[in-house]
Amino acid sequence: MSWLLRGWRRWSLWTLLVGLVATLLVTLVWLAGRYEAEQLQAKIERDAAEAVSDVRLGFTRNVQSLQALHAGDPSFSSWREQAALLLQQHRELLRLEWRNSTGNTNLAFVDSPFRQPVFERLGRANALPDVLRACSAALRASGPAYAPSYYVAQIDSLGLEVMELCLPLATSGRHSGYLVATYSLADTLAELVGKQVARGQEVSFTEADGTRLAIAGSVKRGSRIFTAQQLLDLPGNTLLLRMDSWRGPPEIFPNFLSALVTLLSIALITVVILLGKDIRRRTRAERDLGDALAFRKAMEDSLVTGLRARDLQGRISYVNPAFCQMVGFSAPELLASSIPAPYWPPELIDEYQQRQAIRLSANLLPREGFESVFMRKDGTRFPVLIIEAPLINAVGEQTGWMSALLDMSEQRRIEELSRTSQDRLQATARLATVGEMASLLSHELNQPLAAISSYAIGSNNLLQDATNSSPVYADVRTALQRIAEQAERAGKIIKSVHNFVRRRDQAREAVQPEALLQAILPLVALQARKLGVQVQTQVAPDLPSTVCDRTMVEQVLLNLARNGMQAMPQHSLAGPTPAAWRQNRLLIHIQMAKLAAPGQWLEFSVHDNGQGIAPDVAEQLFTPFFTTKAEGMGLGLSLCRTVIEQHGGSLSHAPAPGGGTVFRFTLPAGTPPVAAPHLIASPPESPHGTLT
C-alpha cells in the first residue's frame, strides 16, 4: 500500500503541474487574444479620428479656395474659368453655382468635368428649399453652412449622395449673393481621407440608424468586424463617419503567439542547458582568443618593422608602435587622419595620390615592394621600403591592404659609406698607378740622366785640360754625341709615358650637351637628396653637339656639381628640414658662349649658393695635391682643368651674385677649334667650404 501511496502522490504532483501549465497556457491564449482585440480596436479608433480630421481640414481648405473665386469682383466669364480650374483640382466638388442675393436665381454655374452634370435629369427644384435654408443660416452666421445630404438619381440608373455648401458673398461690405458648392459624399471620402488610413479598411458616411450614405473601400466580411464611429460636426449639418476593419478577432492561437509560447516554454529548459554549455565554450574560446591577441600584440610591439593596415578607400585602420615611432605620429593621430596621410611630404602629395589610385585600383602590389619617401612629424624626410599584401577577412573577402615598412635611412647611409669607400679605393688605385708610372719614369730615366751627367763632367774636364790642337776634340765630339743619344732616349721614354697618359684622346665622339647632363643627374640627385639641395638645370634650346671624351667630361661635370653641393650647409643623416630644401640650390646651366676666340663654343656653368672661395684658397685651387677637405687628395680640380684643356677649352671660377661660386668651362661646338679660349675669373671672395 505504501508504494501505491507514493505512486499516487507522484502522479498527482505531475497532474497538478500539468494542470497548472495548461491553465497558464489557456490564460495566456485568452489574454493574448483580448490584448490583440484591444489593440485592433484602438488602432481603428485612431484611424477614424484621423479620417474625420482629414475631412474637416479638406472642407476648410475648400472654403478658402471658394472664397478666393470672388476676390477682386470677377466677371462671369473669368469666374467660370476659375471655377472650372477649381473643379479640376477637387474631384469631390460636383458643381459650383453663383446665385443672386435671394438665392433663387443662378447667375453662373460650372459642372465637374469628371462626370455627367449631376442635376441634368431631375434639375435643382427638389433640393432648392434645403439650399435656401442653408444660405439663410450662412447669411446669419456670416460663414459657410451645409445643407442636409440627399440622394440624386442619375441617367445611368445610379445615384449619388450629395451635400450642398452655401457661402455668402459680399461686395464693398454689402451682401451681393451666394456661392453654392455641391459635394459628392463618396468622392469626399475617396479624396479627403488619407490613403494610408483608408487602406485595407472600409470608410463610410452613415445616418444615426446605421444607413450608409456613401462608402469608400471594402472589407472582407468575417464573424466579427472591428468598427469605429466618429461624428463630423459641420455648420448646419452633422455626419457620422464609420470605419470597419477587415481584420477579424483573433482565433484560438492569435498569430501563433500562444502556440509559440507553449513551444518556448517546453524548449526553455533545454535552451538554458544548451546555453550554459555554449557559454562555457565561448568563455574558453574568448580566453584562447585573448591569449592569441596578447601574443600577437607582444609580437607586433617587438618588431622594428612598421606595420600599417588600410581599408579599401586607403584610410589607415591599424598601425603598430614601430610605425608610430618611425613617422613620429601617435596611433590616434594616424587613425583619425584621412587622405592625404600626414606623413606624406607636401611636395609629393599629388604623385602619391596618383600612384596609390593606380596601384590599388589595378591591385598591382609587387611582392618585392617599392621604395618611397615619408616625412616625420618634425618635417624631416627619410626613405622607406613598402611591401604590401591584400588584407583578407575570415570569409575570404578583401577588406583592405596590410603594409610592412622598413626605414632605409641606415641602409642608405651604409650604402653611401660603401660608395665613398669604393671611390676612395679607386682614387687610391689611381694614385698607385701614378706612383707606378713615377717609379717607372724614375727607373728608366735614372741611367740616361746619370750617363748624361758623367759625359758632361768628363767633357768639361777635357775641355779644361786640352788646347785647340789637342786630339781630345774628337773625344769631346764623341761625348757630345753620346749626350745627344741619351737625351734622345730620355725624350722617347717621356713621350711613351705621355702617350700612355693620353691614350683616351682617340675615344672622342659627338655628344649632345643635354645628354652629358642627363647622364650625371641620377648621381647628382642621389647626393642632393642626402644633403638637402634643390638641383635646377637650364639647357638653352637648339644647342649643337660637342666632340669630346664623353666619360671624362661627364666626370668633370659631376665633380663640379658635387663640389658645389658640398660647399653648402650640411645636414644630419636623418634628412634636411623643409627650410633647408628651399635654401640650398644648385644651378647647372648650358648655353652658347660669347667669346672672342674663333669658332663656336659651349659654356657649362655650375652655380652654388655656398660660402664662396677665400682669396688664399683661390690662388692654389688648381694646384695638384692641394685640398681643403680632411679626406681629399687634391687632384680633382687639377684633373678637371687638364681634361678641359685637352679638349681645347678652359676652366675658371668666379663669385656668384648673391653669394656662392660659379664654375665655368667651355667645350668646342662641332669640331674643336685651333685656339682655345680663356675665361678670366673674377676676384674670389668669402670661404667656400670644402673643395677637391
Give the burial class of 124: count Cβ atoms within 10 A of its Cβ; 0-12 exposed, 13-18 middle, 19 or more buried.
Answer: middle
Q: Would residue 23 count as lying in a domain?
A: no
pLDDT at 198: 67
pLDDT value at residue 606:
92
Are 86 and 71 in contact by the 8 Å Cβ rule? The answer is no
Residue 364 lies in a domain: yes
Residue 6 covered by a domain? no
What's the pLDDT tens digit per position in 141-171? Answer: 888 999 998 888 877 667 888 999 999 988 8
pLDDT of 673 higher than 80: no
Average the pLDDT over 639-656 and give the result: 85
Contact residues for 181 (Cβ-Cβ < 8 A; gap 6+): 62, 66, 93, 95, 96, 97, 164, 165, 167
CB 47 within 8 A of CB 228: yes
Structure confidence by residue, pLDDT tens digits, 620-647: 777 766 677 766 666 678 778 888 888 8
Using CB atoms within 10 Å of the CB of residue 136, give its burial: 0 to 12 exposed, 13 to 18 middle, 19+ buried: middle
Quick check: 80 pLDDT over 80? yes
Q: Are 401 and 310 in contact (CB under 8 A)?
A: yes
Q: What is the pLDDT of residue 492?
A: 56
39 part of a folded domain? no
518 assigned to some structural domain: yes
Helices 76-89 and 2-69, packing angle to 10 deg? 160
DSSP, res 25: H
Nearest CA among 665, 632, 663 for reference residue 648: 665
- Same domain flag for 230 and 311: no
In the chain, the number of structural domains is 5
- Whether 518 and 659 share a structural domain: yes
For residue 403, give the H/E element and its range: strand 398-407
Whole-angstrom distance, CA of residue 406 vs CA of residue 371? 9
Q: How is residue 598 written as a grid cell?
A: 674663333
580 and 611, same domain (yes or no):
yes
Last-in-domain residue among 446, 481, 501 = 501
Q: By mean pLDDT, which of 30-44, 318-332, 346-360, 488-502 is the weakest?
A: 488-502
CB contact at 8 A, 539 and 574: no
Under the banding of pLDDT at 50, 70 and 90, the label for residue 481 is low
Strands 306-311, 398-407: parallel, antiparallel or unpaired by DSSP? antiparallel
**For 493, what's the count of Cα atoms within 13 Å in the CB-facing half-sphere?**
19
Q: What is the mean pLDDT of the chain?
A: 76
451 inside domain: yes
pLDDT at position 460 is: 63
Residues 547, 660 share a domain: yes
Average pLDDT over residues 226-237: 87
Q: Are residues 291 and 346 in the same domain?
A: no
Q: How many CA atoms lie within 13 A of 404 on its CB side?
A: 10
- Smallest CA-to-CA distance from 590 within 643, 653, 670, 536 is with 536
Single-letter residue type at 479? A
Q: What is the mean pLDDT of residues 116-122?
A: 81
User: Domain limits at 163?
Assistant: 55-245
3-state helix, strand and coil shares in percent for the chain, rounded to the nearest 5: 50, 20, 30
Which CATH number characterizes residue 219's domain? 3.30.450.20
- Averaged pLDDT, 2-12: 63
Distance between CA atoms of residues 617 and 688, nearest Å = 9
Q: Would you state the torsion angle of the CA atoms of residues 686, 688, 689, 691, taken in this order, to the nearest 10 degrees?
A: -150
Cα separation, 310 vs 80, whole angstroms: 71
Say if residues 32 and 24 touch (Cβ distance below 8 Å). no
Strands 534-539 and 585-593: parallel
**Rounded Cα gap, residues 113 and 115, in angstroms:** 6
> Hey, what's the cell of 301?
610591439
* Listed range (100-104, 267-271, 415-419, 646-650) with the worst mean pLDDT: 267-271
**Are 455 and 352 found together in one domain?**
no
Amino acid at 53: S
Tally of CB atoms within 10 A around 669:
19
Q: Is the domain of 547 the same as that of 626?
A: yes
Q: Which of 477, 501, 525 is the last residue of a domain?
A: 501
- DSSP for 582-608, please give it: HH-EEEEEEEEE--SSSS-EEEEEEEE
Residue 157: the pLDDT is 65
Query: Cell digits for 344?
Result: 606624406
303's CB contacts (< 8 A; 6+ apart) are: 320, 322
566: CATH: 3.30.565.10
10 lies in some domain:
no
d(CA 268, CA 595): 106
- Compute the distance between CA of residue 687 and CA of residue 639 in angstroms, rounded to an integer: 22
Q: In the beta sheet, which residues pair with residue 161?
A: 151
Work out the pLDDT band at 531, boundaries 50, 70, 90: confident
**In one letter, which amino acid is 666?**
T
Least confident of 131-140, 352-361, 500-509, 653-662: 500-509
Q: Is 369 helix (H, G, I), strand (E, B) or coil?
A: coil
Domain shared by 428 and 512, yes or no = no
Q: Based on the fold, state whether residues 282 and 351 are members of the same structural domain.
A: no
604, 513 Cβ separation under 8 angstroms: yes
Instruction: Note whether 132 and 149 are same-domain residues.
Output: yes
Residue 197 domain-assigned (yes or no): yes
Choosing from 501, 523, 557, the residue where a domain stops is 501
Write out the three cell numbers for 513.
650637351
429-437: list long-range contacts, CB under 8 Å, 24+ apart.
431/633, 437/497, 437/500, 437/501
Q: Report how far residue 246's alpha carbon sits from residue 225's, in angstroms, rounded to the nearest whole number.
A: 6
Beta bridge partners of 79: none
User: In terms of domains, do 641 and 622 share one?
Assistant: yes
Q: For the chain, what percent of residues have pLDDT higher than 70?
A: 72
| Minimum mean pLDDT range among 473-482, 528-537, 649-658 | 473-482
CATH code, domain carrying 469: 1.10.287
Range of lowest pLDDT (256-265, 317-326, 389-398)? 256-265
E-only strand ranges, 49-200: 93-99, 106-111, 145-146, 150-153, 159-171, 174-184
Beta-strand pair 201-206/237-245: antiparallel
Q: What is the DSSP annotation of 473-534? A: HHHHHHHHHHHHHHHHHHHHHHHHHHHHHTGGGGG-EEE-HHHHHHHHHHHHHHHHHHHT-E
For the chain, give the percent of residues with pLDDT over 90: 6
pTM for this structure?
Answer: 0.38
Residues 398 and 465 in one domain: no
Contact (Cβ atoms closer than 8 angstroms) between residue 132 and residue 103: yes
Does residue 380 carry a pLDDT above 80? yes
Cell of 572: 644630419
**Closest listed residue to residue 93, CA positions, set 73, 111, 81, 77:** 111
- Separation between Cα atoms, residue 553 and residue 644, nearest integer Å: 8
CB count, 10 Å around CB of 104?
11
Provide the pLDDT for residue 671: 53
Least confident among 61-65, 74-78, 300-304, 558-562: 300-304
